[in-house]
Amino acid sequence: MSDYDVVVIGAGPGGYVASIRASQLGLKTLCVEKETIGGVCLNWGCIPSKTLLRNAEILNLVKRAGDFGITVGNIRADYAKGFQRSREVVGRLTKGVEQLLIKNAVEFRQGAAYIDNPNQVTVSGEQYTTRNVIVATGARPKVPEGVLIDGQIVMTSLEAILSDIVPDRVAIIGAGAIGVEFAYLYQSYGSKVTLIESMSQILPKEDEEISKALSRSFRKLGIEMHTSTSVSELVCLENKGRITLDSQGTKKEFWVDRVLVATGITPNIENIGIENAQAHITDGFVSVDENLLVNGKNVYAIGDINGRIPLAHVAQAEGVFAAEHIAGLAPQPLDYNAMPRAVYCNPQIASIGLTEKEATDKGYSVKVGKFPFLANGKSLTADEREGFVKIVGEANTGELLGAHLIGHEVTELLGELSLTRALDGTTQELGGLVKAHPSASEVIKEAALATYESALHI
């Protein structure tokens, strides 16, 4: 007899969801967390960053109150107060997850867990036997070799999210989702932002047209961007950072108050005994099979640690999968091509599936349909005219290969596109749906209609 059916290591979105689902399925479950319930997402990631971004969005809306016929007096933005709001939201949500674990009869231990062998885990000197282990220890910001994070001038997202100060001048290294979100946040509060990306476009994983549209928008806001550019030197002197950029041999030097390093993640694989579970490590991440198993038997690795798609909802979906697999429900393997992606600057970016280039490179015969928010009634009533929806369909069957959105609150429009993909729906079906009028989601219908030259309102 084992003490537990499942020991879950880590209470981030992957771990706490796996624990709840396992317990719901009648498995005796222990969840272990060494820091704070909620992991990166709730404490230092998704939730505080989205709260800060909402503050910035409100600030920008108030700045253009005149467009709506509303006169406001002197606008004074208090970042520290907005920061306080982000910590309050974090506190509320982490408490909520704590309650969810209790409600679902998940046993919880505070402490660092170590895998002694695939059937035994030690927490603070106490040993627990278990039939299964789910490792969900997440990841931390990746720091390029030779860069020292001092927390004052040079920061990662962790120090930045816990700071109540907006720097006057900031360089952001890395224009993925985190870099782009901080660029929008700081610029909104008056920083002079320089965004540096070694790839040829900002948001390198997104569709080229979406990236170009965001670049145009950021340029208008005053954000300076350097793509195909690396940082060849970073020196800290007298409370300032000196950055040297190298753009295909051309050098440029400038000074900033703060440098934010946003160059990806490093999985937390140290001191967890993962080697005692016969794990294979590939590029630093724990390799898993199609059932998310590390050792083919009873040790699973879910979330950021397995290097598949480092997003909170993917970690949660993997947590549910692992729990159901342990319970013998034979769940369907996850379709990683159908995982939604979202970036919360303004305009927001939302996407699912293949970009136009990826679809063409894979040999699909592609039909693209686009429709701008400028031609949508609801967007005009809200005075949120920026952006468009781009649908990538298979030319003969109408299969929805990908969808790429840029505009106000477009992350809220992703659901129907996920559902269409999950149900193997087509662009014809998307185009045929009757939408409430006026609504922003009419733009998806029109973009789908445009893939077969039938858009009505353009």
Which residues have a catalytic role annotated? 437
With binding defined as CB under 6 A, does residue 178 bind ligand FAD? yes
Residues 280-309 that bind ligand FAD (CB under 6 A): 303-304
Q: How far is the CB of 408 from ligand FAD (least distance, A)?
A: 17
Q: Which stretch in 6-14, 368-376, 393-401, 443-451 sits in contact with ligand FAD by CB under 6 A?
A: 6-14
Contact flag: residue 385 with ligand FAD (CB under 6 A): no
Which residue stretch of 4-12, 191-199, 209-217, 359-367 sits at the interface with ligand FAD (rule: CB under 6 A)? 4-12
**Contact with ligand FAD (CB under 6 A): which of 5, 19, 23, 39?**
39
Q: Which is nearer to ligand FAD, 34 or 445 (CB)?
A: 34
By CB under 6 A, residue 210 contacts ligand FAD = no
**Residues 96-135: x/- map of binding to ligand FAD (CB under 6 A)?**
----------------xx----------------------
Which residue lies nearer to ligand FAD by CB, 157 or 451?
157
Which backbone phi and psi does 451 adopt, to 5 degrees?
Answer: -70, -20
- Residue (40 or 389) nearer to ligand FAD, CB: 40
* Positive/negative CA dihedral, 47, 86, 54, 161: negative
Cα 379 from Cα 423, distance rounded (Å):
28
Should residue 179 be labelled a site residue for ligand FAD when binding is judged by CB under 6 A? no
Q: Which of 13, 179, 347, 431 binds ligand FAD (CB under 6 A)?
A: 13
Question: 211, 201 in Cβ contact below 8 A?
Answer: yes
Neighbouring-strand partners of residue 389: 371, 405
At residue 175's C-alpha, the angle toward residues 170 and 149, to 5°, is 50
E strand or H helix that includes residue 208:
helix 208-221
Decide if residue 174 touches ligand FAD (CB under 6 A): no
Question: What 3-state class would DSSP assign to 29?
Answer: strand
Burial 292-317 (b: 16+ CB within 10 A, else e): bbbbeebbbbbbbbbbbbbbbbbbbb
How many residues sit close enough to ligand FAD to count as binding (CB under 6 A)? 35
The amino acid occupying position 407 is G
Q: Does 274 bind ligand FAD (CB under 6 A)?
A: no
Cis peptide bond prior to 340, omega within 30° of 0? no
Torsion (CA) 91, 96, 99, 103 in degrees, nearest 10 = -170
Is position 350 an interface residue for ligand FAD (rule: CB under 6 A)? no
Position 268 contacts ligand FAD (CB under 6 A) = yes
Min separation Cβ 37 and ligand FAD, Å: 7
> Which residues between 137 and 156 bind ligand FAD (CB under 6 A)?
137-139
CB 403 within 8 A of CB 368: no
Q: How does DSSP assign 37-104, residue by residue?
A: TTHHHHHHSHHHHHHHHHHHHHHHHHHTGGGGT---------HHHHHHHHHHHHHHHHHHHHHHHHHT
Q: Which residues bind ligand FAD (CB under 6 A)?
A: 9-15, 32-35, 39-41, 45-46, 49, 112-113, 136-139, 157, 161, 178, 268, 272, 303-304, 310-313, 315
